[in-house]
Amino acid sequence: MTEEPDAPEEVTLLDEAGGERAFLLHDAIEAGGLTYYLVEAADDPDEVLLLKETEGLLESVEGDEFERVLALLEAES
């Protein structure tokens, strides 16, 4: 089976307890010197997260920062 060209890449992330979870990487963007990732849980399409990379770790983005980065992602598409 071949992968569709626009199909999201599956990535495995570790949670704070060290457990592995599969996510689908939909988009990535650099803004303000940080890299942000839009991911969806592979087992639950209702769980969509915006993560930012800081010091080699990923953390959830919420509030005003979430709205600002989401607007950038939408403007990009």
Q: Which residue has the higher pLDDT, 75 or 36?
A: 36
**Per-residue model confidence (pLDDT) at position 56:** 87
Predicted pLDDT of residue 23:
97
Question: Taking residues 5-22, what's their average pLDDT?
Answer: 89
Helices (H), 1-77: 63-76
CB 26 within 8 A of CB 8: yes
pLDDT at 2: 52
What pLDDT does residue 1 have?
46
Biggest alpha carbon distance in the chain?
Answer: 41
Dump pLDDT digits (tens) for 16-66: 899 999 999 999 999 989 999 999 999 999 999 999 999 989 999 999 999
DSSP one-letter code for 7: P
Q: What was the pLDDT predicted at 6?
A: 76
Structure token digits, residue 39: 């991911």
